Amino acid sequence: MKWKATLLMAILVFAVIASGCIGSTQETKTETSKVTLTGDFTKDVIEIGKILQQNGINEVKFAAWGSGDPNSVMRVYGIVDAAYKINKIWEQNGIKVKITVTTKYDQSFKDQYQEFLSKQPLGQAGDFFVNSYAFLPTLAEEGYILDITEYAKAYQNVIDDFYPNLLEAAKYKGKLYGLPQDTEARPLYVRKDVAKCAGLDVTTLPEDVKSGEFTWSDVYYWAKKAKEKGCAEWGLIHRKGSAHPDLIQFIFAFNGKLYDPSTGKLVLDVPAVYKWLYVEWKFAQDGLLPKDIMSWDWAKQIHPTIVEGRTLFDIGGTWYWTEWQTKQYYHGRGLKPEEVKEWFAYTLFPAGEKGDKPVTLSQPFIWMINSKAGQLNPKYEELKDVYHALAFLMIVKASDSEINAIHSVISAHLPVRKEAAKLIKDENWLNKLKNLDLDLAPEVKDNIKDIVEKTVNPINAKFLADVSYMLEYTHLAPAHPKYPALADIFKEAVDKVLRGEMTPEEAVKFIEDKIKADKELADNVEIKGEIPKEWEFPRGD
Amino acid sequence: MKNEKLRDLSFFLFPMVFMVVLFYLIPLVLTVYISFTGMRNWNVDKYLHQVVGLYNYERLIHMFKYDPTFKAVILTTIVFVLITLIINVFGGLGLALGTFFMSEKPASAFRLLWLLPRMSPIAVYSLVWYYFFHGSSIGTLNSVLMKLGVINQPIPWGQIVPWGAWSVIIFVNGLVGVSFGMIVFTSALNQIPKELVIAARVDGASAWEISRRILLPLMKWHFLYVLTWQFLSLLTTYPHLFLLVEWDLVDRDYGTTLALYVFNTAFGRGEQDQGLAAAAAVILSILGIIGGFVTLKVLQFEKMIKKPRGDL
């Protein structure tokens, strides 16, 4: 009797489990919906809206993740504004669907990247992710971001308006994985009053640098002179922390390479890296550059030293221009736009030596779409393609030249589209922006009001227009999944030569040894050339 | 009768066994398994089935042989664990004995003071020491010494290798860890019958003699517990170290222990190499098991768990 009862129970349990399985299969088996984009934004948006409505969806939820300095919030509000404009189109056409966007804005782009990596597989990462192009290869390789090559074909007119080299930064293995959001140049700032004291004429400097006449030998010469004459405490200040991407400008300035497209491998260009480390070592040993600059404090040391005029030269980014105005680096206050204009001249990063070319370096930020975008919405499996197409249209809208121009002016990043570059030169448009008399989402207006008040003025717009030419000289760090590991080694080597723990020769050997010690890095990096025997810096000194 | 006993035992032991399996055994097995895969960037779907054999261990051995700085990580681990362990155990013991001979109110206040580092959020606590030991004139220590005329130039404390970097990380972690020993030893001291101390006092024994002859022998097992616990804890600790290295306060080679190396490799770089990190974690676990076993053996742990003589 007992075994009968056991058998009955077993059959019952099996039946319950089996019915659950059968039921779930039936539930997911419905027809999928596809969208074909036409390139007509309004038409495409309406088409998507109708499909969503037919499927009973009345709210689409997305999350936008962005990061950076406090002035760069358009990296997330661009998406919020895109939702606002799409909602408007749907409303005007009687479609009862609404997009709502939640935002997450962090200070550190590296931390947010790490968070994205860990949460994407769990389906908890943002649907939109704006971050450095340097991470794009890894994200694409892992399948964490959406390949938008096919979608983009319909919007070729928009794509063509982006600067081509920036568009390249959004590609990996020939496929497009996002749209450029912003970029920047890294000028050499020159403190005008210190230059005057040392006898350096800054009026012709940008042209001399551009023509390759003024090289790093000259930077050394004037830095030394400024220090010897007591004009400034330091000759040169540069950024700290990761050598990527600021200091690798030296490699390009000494005509070196970091990547070989024919092999797809990273390159350790020994002569160029040696010259870079030698320059750093020489400046530090002669007391022109702080030996411990790599561990200086941003807010208490680096920026105050520059804005208080305690250095002649500074390697920085274009965004410094507005950062100095919005943060209290100068004796407890921010600089006025007029002060920044009066105190600082700016040029390209000079050529390493005569015969080389001046350079700058950009690290474009890219609007990427999570490959699981929209997954928290109803009927995701059936409507995946619709959600993805909608997400693509949102980054197209967020890339509107007006949004891009607003971001550029308030954060001193360079525009990524030709149309946006024209807009920032338009005085009428700038006045409208100053009064926020533009068609923007109310939430966006509220959030950028204070930043606009402090940063929108003709001086800042002119600065952006003035530095835009630098993009013609720009280089990008290689889009290679192993590059961050190599950049890490560069950073360590620079720190050691600055502190005098290693000579430039020893540091090059150190880099080589570190590469060879990591089997995977050794397979991905070609070591080329040798330390030049007869080379001297500064020339003729 | 036998089955009944087994059933009773199972019933009472089940929650504990379940927790151990869920939170200790499964993660350990998973870590060992991941160390044999090419897992990276959290991509479980892609790499979990990609078994690469001993490749990650080969990479580690290759690094140990040829990396100019990997040996610094191993050396730092040994020095950091040993010296901090001594400070934590004997510092905790000293504090417990010191406060034992004080009257209750000031003793409580004094103990609370030593608990502050453990109660402070890690980032805040690390930031305090970041500014204290900062290698420029903005560093509190440098600024004070310069004002007193002891030094002319700021000293980059954490960047003097190896001992400068080691001193900073040992100091910061030592201050956090010392309170653990203090609490355990204080509790042990409070269990010792006061009559023994009073009698010794009456006989004219000094505080030192009371400590050496009465208190310390009665705290042997607590000493063993604190020593083993702190050893394993120090071997795997990294949060304070992570911040001090991340903020460039200390040299990154001589400020990085194996535990921090595991963390950075798994989660802290552009490419997150969880396979390699798991291999390093397995080695760390083996070191922990061997170290813990040796400690228990040397201090004759088995004597403590011997059955009491006679019937209850």
Token pair in block for residue B119: 């109660």
Q: Which residues of A touch B62 (CB under 8 A)?
A: 517, 519
Do B162 and B249 lie in one domain? The reply is yes
Task: Tell me the average pLDDT across B240-264.
Answer: 93
DSSP conformational letter for A414: B
Chain A interface with B: residues with Cβ < 8 Å: 114, 117-118, 120-121, 134-135, 138, 142-144, 240-241, 292, 294-297, 300-301, 481-485, 487-488, 492, 499, 501, 510, 513-514, 516-520
Closest partner CB to A297 (pick from B58, B138, B269): B138
pLDDT, tens digit, 9 for 90 and up, residues A404-441: 999 999 998 999 999 998 898 888 999 999 999 999 99
pLDDT at B299 over 90: no
pLDDT number for residue A461: 87
What is the sign, positive or negative, of the torsion defined by CA atoms of A305, A310, A316, A318?
positive
DSSP string computed for A45-74: HHHHHHHHHHTT--EEEEEEEEESSGGGTH
pLDDT number for residue B234: 94
Using 50, 70 and 90 to split pLDDT, how confident is the model at A5? Answer: low
pTM value > 0.90: no
**Total beta-carbon pairs less than 8 A apart between chain A and chain B:** 86
Residue A267 Cα distances to A150, A257, A511, angstroms? 32, 6, 12
B24 occurs within a structural domain: no
B198 occurs within a structural domain: yes
pLDDT number for residue A435: 94
| Residue % of chain A over a pLDDT of 70 | 93
Report the candidate in A270, A273, A224, A268 with the shortest Cα–Cα distance to residue A250.
A273
**Rounded mean pLDDT of chain A?**
91
B275 occurs within a structural domain: yes
Structure-model confidence comparison of residues A50 and A326, the more confident one: A50
Give bridge partners of residue A180 from the DSSP assignment: A366
Task: Tell me the average pLDDT across A390-410.
Answer: 96
Do B209 and B93 lie in one domain? The reply is yes
The answer to whether residues A89 and A153 touch, using CB atoms and an 8 Å cutoff, is no
**Rounded mean pLDDT of chain B?**
90
Contact A492 B252 (CB under 8 A): yes
Contact A520 B59 (CB under 8 A): yes
Do B194 and B290 lie in one domain? The reply is no
DSSP conformational letter for B22: I
Using 50, 70 and 90 to split pLDDT, how confident is the model at A353? Answer: very high
In angstroms, rounded to a whole number, what is the distance separating the alpha carbons of residues A68 and A78? 14
pLDDT number for residue A282: 97
pLDDT at B37 over 60: yes
pLDDT number for residue A29: 43
pLDDT at B279 over 60: yes
Segment holding B266, helix H or strand E? helix B258-267
Using 50, 70 and 90 to split pLDDT, how confident is the model at A541? Answer: low
DSSP conformational letter for A349: B
Identify the weakest region by mean pLDDT among A248-262, A464-478, B162-176: A464-478
- Residue B224 sits in a domain whose CATH number is 1.10.3720.10
In angstroms, rounded to a whole number, what is the distance separating the alpha carbons of residues B302 and A157? 79
Task: Tell me the average pLDDT across B285-309.
Answer: 82
What would you report as the CA-atom Rg of chain B, rounded to the nearest whole angstrom? 24
In angstroms, rounded to a whole number, what is the distance separating the alpha carbons of residues A440 and A403? 9
Do B153 and B51 lie in one domain? The reply is no
Task: Tell me the average pLDDT across B166-190.
Answer: 92
Domain A41-183+365-456: homologous superfamily in CATH: Periplasmic binding protein-like II (3.40.190.10)
- Angle at which helix B163-191 crosses helix B104-119, to 10 degrees, equals 140
pLDDT number for residue B100: 86
pLDDT, tens digit, 9 for 90 and up, residues A20-59: 444 444 444 444 577 899 999 999 999 999 999 999 999 9
* Pairing verdict, β A171-172 and A128-132: unpaired
pLDDT number for residue A31: 47
Using 50, 70 and 90 to split pLDDT, how confident is the model at A243? Answer: low
B3 occurs within a structural domain: no
Q: Total domain count for chain B?
A: 2
In angstroms, rounded to a whole number, what is the distance separating the alpha carbons of residues A6 and A115? 50
Contact A514 B159 (CB under 8 A): no
The answer to whether residues B276 and B91 touch, using CB atoms and an 8 Å cutoff, is no
pLDDT, tens digit, 9 for 90 and up, residues A217-235: 999 999 999 999 999 999 9
Say whether domain A188-361+474-528 belongs to CATH 3.40.190.10. yes
In angstroms, rounded to a whole number, what is the distance separating the alpha carbons of residues A494 and A294? 8
pLDDT, tens digit, 9 for 90 and up, residues A53-109: 999 999 999 999 999 888 899 999 999 999 999 999 999 999 999 999 999 999 888
* Pairing verdict, β A178-182 and A365-369: antiparallel
DSSP string computed for B51-90: B-TTHHHHHHHHHHHH-TTHHHHHHHHHHHHHHHHHHHHH
The domain spans of chain A are: 41-183+365-456, 188-361+474-528
Task: Tell me the average pLDDT across A148-175.
Answer: 93
Report the candidate in A138, A244, A133, A136 with the shortest Cα–Cα distance to residue A487.
A244
Closest partner CB to A135 (pick from B42, B138, B270): B270
Using 50, 70 and 90 to split pLDDT, how confident is the model at A242? Answer: low
Identify the weakest region by mean pLDDT among A100-114, A115-129, B85-99, B297-311: B297-311
Chain B interface with A: residues with Cβ < 8 Å: 41-46, 58-59, 62-63, 65-70, 134-136, 138, 156, 159, 161, 247-249, 252-253, 267-272
pLDDT number for residue A2: 53
Closest partner CB to A117 (pick from B41, B59, B69): B41
Structural domain of residue B296, as residue ranges?
34-66+269-302
Task: Tell me the average pLDDT across B90-104.
Answer: 89
Q: Which residues of B touch A514 (CB under 8 A)?
A: 67-69
Residue A123 region, left (φ>0) first, then alpha (ψ -120 to 50), else beta?
left
pLDDT number for residue A165: 82
pLDDT number for residue A19: 43
Report the candidate in A466, A201, A460, A195 with the shortest Cα–Cα distance to residue A338.
A460
Q: Tell how far CA A298 is from the center of its chain.
A: 19
Alpha-helical (H) ranges within A412-469 are 418-423, 427-434, 442-455, 458-467
Using 50, 70 and 90 to split pLDDT, how confident is the model at A511? Answer: very high
| Residue % of chain A over a pLDDT of 90 | 77
Do B60 and B84 lie in one domain? The reply is no
Residue A277 distance to chain B (closest CA, Å): 18
In angstroms, rounded to a whole number, what is the distance separating the alpha carbons of residues B276 and B28? 15
Do B144 and B244 lie in one domain? The reply is yes
pLDDT number for residue A256: 97
B5 occurs within a structural domain: no
pLDDT at A1 over 90: no
Do B282 and B159 lie in one domain? The reply is no
pLDDT number for residue B1: 57
Q: Which residue of A has its CA nearest to B137?
A: A301
Q: Which residues of B touch A241 (CB under 8 A)?
A: 248
pLDDT number for residue A20: 43
Residue B43 distance to chain A (closest CA, Å): 7
Using 50, 70 and 90 to split pLDDT, how confident is the model at B301? Answer: confident
pLDDT number for residue A381: 92
Do B198 and B275 lie in one domain? The reply is no
Same fold, A41-183+365-456 and A188-361+474-528: yes
In angstroms, rounded to a whole number, what is the distance separating the alpha carbons of residues B177 and B88? 5
In angstroms, rounded to a whole number, what is the distance separating the alpha carbons of residues A378 and A373? 12
Contact A117 B42 (CB under 8 A): yes
pLDDT number for residue A439: 94
Using 50, 70 and 90 to split pLDDT, how confident is the model at B6? Answer: confident
Task: Tell me the average pLDDT across A284-293.
Answer: 95
Contact B66 A516 (CB under 8 A): yes
Residue A290 distance to chain B (closest CA, Å): 10
Identify the weakest region by mean pLDDT among A249-263, A454-468, B145-159: A454-468
In angstroms, rounded to a whole number, what is the distance separating the alpha carbons of residues A478 and A480? 6
B73 occurs within a structural domain: no
B307 occurs within a structural domain: no
User: Phi/psi at B38 (nearest 5 deg)?
Assistant: -95, 25
Measured at the CA of B5, the angle between CA B4 and CA B8, to 5 degrees, comes to: 85
Residue A422 Cα distances to A159, A426, A429, B218, B261, angstroms? 17, 7, 10, 83, 49
* Pairing verdict, β A474-476 and A360-362: parallel
State the residue for tokens 């989402």: A441
User: What single-letter amino acid sits at A534?
Assistant: E
Strand order in the sheet with A59-67: A98-106, A59-67, A128-132, A365-369, A178-182
Contact B248 A240 (CB under 8 A): yes
pLDDT number for residue A244: 62
pLDDT number for residue A103: 97
B311 occurs within a structural domain: no
Token pair in block for residue B291: 């170290």
In angstroms, rounded to a whole number, what is the distance separating the alpha carbons of residues B241 and B232? 16
pLDDT number for residue A160: 94
